[in-house]
């Protein structure tokens, strides 16, 4: 004979203690501090890996740029400044501009990610402050995850104009480098096309300025959309 199936347990009646699951007790401050510290170290590790990647990309780009100049010099020694040299020069400049633009785009996105990581760590410091009121007086960095608090953390509380912070950044360095490559590429094309010295200078300058303006506008659009990270809860920036 086959065994009869087990009957399903009866549903709890109204008013029965089993009708609602028991509520878990709140975590202790020590447990909360451990969880926050784990998240903080996770963000720090992510930030470290991010900048290692960005520095590697920049190093590769600069290495390729240096190698391209060496190749161009060897071609000039071997063939002189004939048609082959100018074709090689335009090709290498175009390649460097493409690689440089891709590297700049990655650095811009990485800088955006870095901003969000800093904002996230600021938010965690705000949680530390809530666990231990008054501890934020010992912080050099901010406990606010808004744009002002993030900039305070970047500068470690020092007063620094935003423009100075922007023009000294890695992204602006790459922008200037790529703008010079764009200018050289424009001048090479104008020269090979038979333009006069004045036309070559004007085309090269215009190409460099146009690239600089376009890159600055793109970076402005990327960073202009930055705000508090998702789930933002307003916290006040500490003011001494």
Q: Among 104, 128, 108, 103, which Cα is nearest to 40's? A: 128
Give a yes or no: residue 231 inside a domain.
Answer: no
Give a yes or no: residue 19 inside a domain.
Answer: no
Section 175-193 average pLDDT: 95
What percent of the chain is modeled with pLDDT above 70?
82
User: Quick one: tokens of 96?
Assistant: 């460097």
Is residue 195's pLDDT more than 80? yes
pTM: 0.76
What is each CA distance from 69 to 60, 90, 91, 161, in whole angstroms?
A: 14, 12, 12, 37
Per-residue pLDDT at 11:
42
Give a yes or no: residue 135 inside a domain.
Answer: yes
Give a yes or no: residue 6 inside a domain.
Answer: no
Cβ neighbours around 169 below 10 Å, total: 15
Give a yes or no: residue 164 inside a domain.
Answer: yes
Scanning 3-82, the segments in alpha helix (DSSP H) are 29-79
Is residue 96's pLDDT more than 60? yes
Section 87-112 average pLDDT: 93
Is residue 6's pLDDT more than 80? no
Give a yes or no: residue 7 inside a domain.
Answer: no
Between 194 and 10, name the one with better pLDDT: 194
Per-residue pLDDT at 101:
95
Domain count, the chain: 1
Give a yes or no: residue 240 inside a domain.
Answer: no
Is residue 12's pLDDT more than 80? no
d(CA 235, CA 230): 14
Instruction: Residue 39: give the domain boundaries.
Output: 29-224
Section 31-60 average pLDDT: 92
Section 25-34 average pLDDT: 78
User: Quick one: tokens of 56?
Assistant: 């590697």
Query: CA angle 98-100-106, nearest 5°?
Result: 105
d(CA 97, CA 198): 23
Query: CA angle 132-134-137, nearest 5°?
Result: 125
Is residue 238's pLDDT more than 80? no
Give a yes or no: residue 16 inside a domain.
Answer: no
pLDDT, one tens digit per residue, over 160-177 is 888 888 888 899 999 999
- First vs last Cα of the chain: how many Å apart? 83
pLDDT band at 14 (very low <50, low <70, confident <90, very high): very low
Between 57 and 228, name the one with better pLDDT: 57
Per-residue pLDDT at 180:
96
DSSP string, 105-120: HHHHHHHHHHHHHHHH
d(CA 173, CA 25): 53
Q: Among 167, 45, 155, 65, which Cα is nearest to 53's? A: 45
Per-residue pLDDT at 225:
65
């Amino acid at each position: 004979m086959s065994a009869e199936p087990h009957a399903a347990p009866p549903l709890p009646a109204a008013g029965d203690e089993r009708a609602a699951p028991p509520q878990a007790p709140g975590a202790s401050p020590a447990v909360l501090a451990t969880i926050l510290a784990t998240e903080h170290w996770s963000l720090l590790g992510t930030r470290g890996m991010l900048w290692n990647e960005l520095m590697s990309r920049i190093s590769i780009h600069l290495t390729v740029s240096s190698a391209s100049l060496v190749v161009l010099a060897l071609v000039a020694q071997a063939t002189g400044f004939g048609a082959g040299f100018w074709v090689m020069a335009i090709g290498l400049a175009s390649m460097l501009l493409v690689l440089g633009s891709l590297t700049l785009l990655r650095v811009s996105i990485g800088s955006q990610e870095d901003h969000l990581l800093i904002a996230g760590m600021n938010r965690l410091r705000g949680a530390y402050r809530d666990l231990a009121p008054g501890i934020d007086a010992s912080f050099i960095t901010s406990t606010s995850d808004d744009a002002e608090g993030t900039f305070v953390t970047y500068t470690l509380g020092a007063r620094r104009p935003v423009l100075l912070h922007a023009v000294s950044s890695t992204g602006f360095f790459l922008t200037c480098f790529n703008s010079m490559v764009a200018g050289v590429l424009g001048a090479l094309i104008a020269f090979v096309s038979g333009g006069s010295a004045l036309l070559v200078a004007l085309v090269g300058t215009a190409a460099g300025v146009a690239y600089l303006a376009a890159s600055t506008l793109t970076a402005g659009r990327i960073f202009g959309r930055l705000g508090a990270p998702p789930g933002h809860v307003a916290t006040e920036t500490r003011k001494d």
